[in-house]
Amino acid sequence: MRNELPRGFLDEAKIKDIKRLLYEGQLTQGEIAEQFNVQQPTISRIYRGREWFDVEWPNGTKGGIDEIRRTQLIGDKNRRGPAVRDSRQPLSDVAKEAVERIDEVEDARLDDADNDLRNAIDNPKN
């Protein structure tokens, strides 16, 4: 489902830059969000293909970041260890599943908020 809400300050050129930065994996989603003056959940939705899915990634795919690159990025972050992860240990499989579930819940919550906003726009109260 394509997000039809206004896309604010982002245009296709900026989305290509965001996807390049995500693909390179050198910055966190929060750092990228700050750089583009948007919220981190916006970057997450781009990463997962929930928004701007029609703009290509550096490898030519569309949608969310491809699973192979996502797995590589997770592995890279775990190998870099404390410097990147604030001295925390690499995530266990159980912790990774918990983080993925939290992301799913957050996506659902954001979808609900998007729907509420669409309804408010479509049916304004006078």
Per residue in 66-91, pLDDT tens?
888 888 887 766 655 544 444 455 66
1 domain residue, yes or no: no
Domain span including residue 72: 6-88
Give Cα separations from 27 to 35, 53, 86, 121 (angstroms). 10, 20, 14, 35
**3-state SS assignment for residue 45:** helix
pTM for this one? Answer: 0.57
Residue-wise pLDDT tens digits, 3-36: 444 546 899 999 999 999 999 988 999 999 999 9
Could you tell me which residues come within 8 angstroms of residue 90 by beta carbon, excluding any fewer than 6 positions away?
78, 81
Same domain, 58 and 18: yes
Give the separation between CA 51 and CA 3, rounded to whole angstroms: 6
3-state class of 38 per DSSP? coil
Task: Please give the pLDDT value at position 84.
Answer: 45
pLDDT at residue number 102 = 81
Determine, yes or no, domain membership for 48. Answer: yes
